[in-house]
Amino acid sequence: MAKLSGIYKDKKTSKWYYSVSLGFDKVTGKRIRKVRRGFNTQKEAYEAKTEELKNAQDMGRIANSGLDYASYMEDLFLPDYKSHVQSTTYEARLSVFKKMIKHFGKKKIDSISNIDIQVWKNSLTADFSQNYARMIYGLFSQTLEKAVNLGMIKMNRAIQVGTIKKEKVKVEFWTKEEFQKVLSTFNLDDYYEHYSFIIIWLYFMTGLRVNEATALRWKQDINLDNRTLTVNHSLRLKNSNDWKLGPTKTKAGMRTIALDNDTVEFLRTWKARQDEFGKIDFVFSYDGRPTWKSTISRIIKRHAKLAGIKAIQAKGLRHSHASFLINEHNANPLVIKDRLGHEDIKTTLSTYSHLYPNVNFEIAKNMSGSIIFTPSKEKKTKFQGNQSFKFKGN
């Protein structure tokens, strides 16, 4: 079981105990800390600690106690947040919450001012990309909103100060011609280059998210006879030997994608090549272990340089797929939505509408001559038009 906040094991008795902050004494200003020992399991200690906090909250001891931000996060917010999100999401965002604790940890939560928040907000935009800073600030606002709901503070000052504007980031992608140049740099007789080729090819031809493709397994997700690929998971890697399969980014991310004949044959050949080296479960693997995102980035940079074209991010291959469908096959946005696993067509249109620059003219071209009629040779109506209008002849 993963370590739970505020829960410890007594080395002398091997029993579990909890230690929890209940705020500060109104008279002495000293921290009120409750420790209770003798639990047989980590879970029992955690449940008792949760009940202790609930009782303190019900009695109003925490709400007006001036709990510091670090204690609030450790004892109240994080345990609650962990219970409402996927474990992979919690682990991914824990480092972000630690940034907040490092900055605001010693301040009492009800003393964090608008100025404090504005100064920190400025540092975020100075130190990080605008969208990453926006994400951090949004999560910080969530922590204050929870404190409002618990009656610990009267208002969410992060909302008062204002959000960080979302920046429209242009994601570079490869055209069909650029992709073909990259493909020509691979020597498929070499095992590692064959592995690298499959990675680049499959991303470009399917539009999978990076962690969706690295999670693909032959037996569970690939059906070469039916020519389909099924996305069931997203891969989370801590190290080469410590990984887990989690849920896809959205519910719509779980999907089945039809594969073209070329992709089916390339996968079939790659599977046979892998089998020469032993039983390998992952599609993207040359040694049995899953592939790191950084490995994919290095492959892209290496072969883009050899091809003499721009290097793109791994997620740029997803955009390359969308561009390929739009510009080479005039694909319907609904088809693109389904292949990419978007929950809403609005996401597809807002992300890729700029890739349809010639559609307006294409439609106009297709409309030309599509309506066929023969004008009447004689007037069949009695209406004379506007009688006050006088036609001026030459």
Section 319-333 average pLDDT: 87
Which DSSP letter does residue 217 get? B
For residue 124, is pLDDT > 90? yes
Note the pLDDT tens digit of each residue in 223-244: 999 999 999 988 887 777 778 7
Residue 365's region, left for phi above 0, alpha for psi from -120 to 50, else beta, is alpha
Structure tokens at 121: 């907000």
pLDDT in the model for residue 246: 76
- Mean residue pLDDT across the chain: 86
Q: What residue ranges define each of the domains in the chain, with the CATH number in brackets?
A: 7-161 (no CATH), 176-329 (1.10.443.10)
Note the pLDDT tens digit of each residue in 233-285: 888 877 777 787 877 777 878 899 999 999 999 999 999 999 999 889 999 99
CA atoms within 13 A on the CB side of 291: 29
Distance from C-alpha of 240 to C-alpha of 290, rounded to nearest angstrom: 7
Q: Report phi then psi at 340, rounded to 5.
A: -85, -15
Section 322-331 average pLDDT: 86
For residue 27, is pLDDT > 60? no
* Percent of all residues in the chain with a pLDDT value above 90, rounded to a whole number: 50
Section 310-331 average pLDDT: 90
pLDDT in the model for residue 387: 57
Residue from 163, 95, 173 nearest 130 by CA: 163
Note the pLDDT tens digit of each residue in 59-108: 555 545 568 899 899 888 998 898 888 777 888 899 999 999 999 999 99
pLDDT in the model for residue 352: 75
- Decide if 284 contacts 198 (C-beta within 8 A): yes
How many CB atoms are located within 10 Å of the residue 279 CB?
A: 8
**pTM value?**
0.66
Q: Which SS3 state, helix, strand or coil, does residue 249 take?
A: coil
